[in-house]
Amino acid sequence: MKKMVIAALVVVTLISTSVPALADGGASVAAAMVADVFIARPAGLVAIVLGSAVFIVALPFAAISGSVEPVARTLVADPFKFTFTRPVGDFSCWE
């Protein structure tokens, strides 16, 4: 099973990186959407889970320093927005 997942990720990576070089701008949008769905969104889910865990550990320190809101925004809210509210294939937030 692990080998199949790795093989699928390799194939998706190869397809998403080779398509823009062979086609016009429309294909690069499609490649961005494929990369978003198969790579960026799952990475966003992982970031939400890890960020939530780190936030729970950091909460007492953030509460003492009065910085709960920026810590929560950085570790939980930003990954949530990246994963669930951003249009598919839109990476303009990184520009």
- What pLDDT, in 10s, does the model give residues 48-77? 999 999 999 999 999 999 999 999 999 999
What is the spatial distance between Cα 69 and Cα 77, in angstroms, rounded to a whole number? Answer: 10
Query: What is the reported pLDDT for 29?
Result: 87
* Number of neighbouring beta carbons within 10 Å of residue 40: 20
**Higher pLDDT residue, 79 or 90?**
79
Query: What is the reported pLDDT for 1?
Result: 65
- The rounded mean pLDDT for the chain is 83
Percent of the chain with pLDDT over 90: 59
Backbone angles phi, psi at 66, to 5 degrees: 75, 25
What is the spatial distance between Cα 80 and Cα 82, in angstroms, rounded to a whole number? Answer: 5
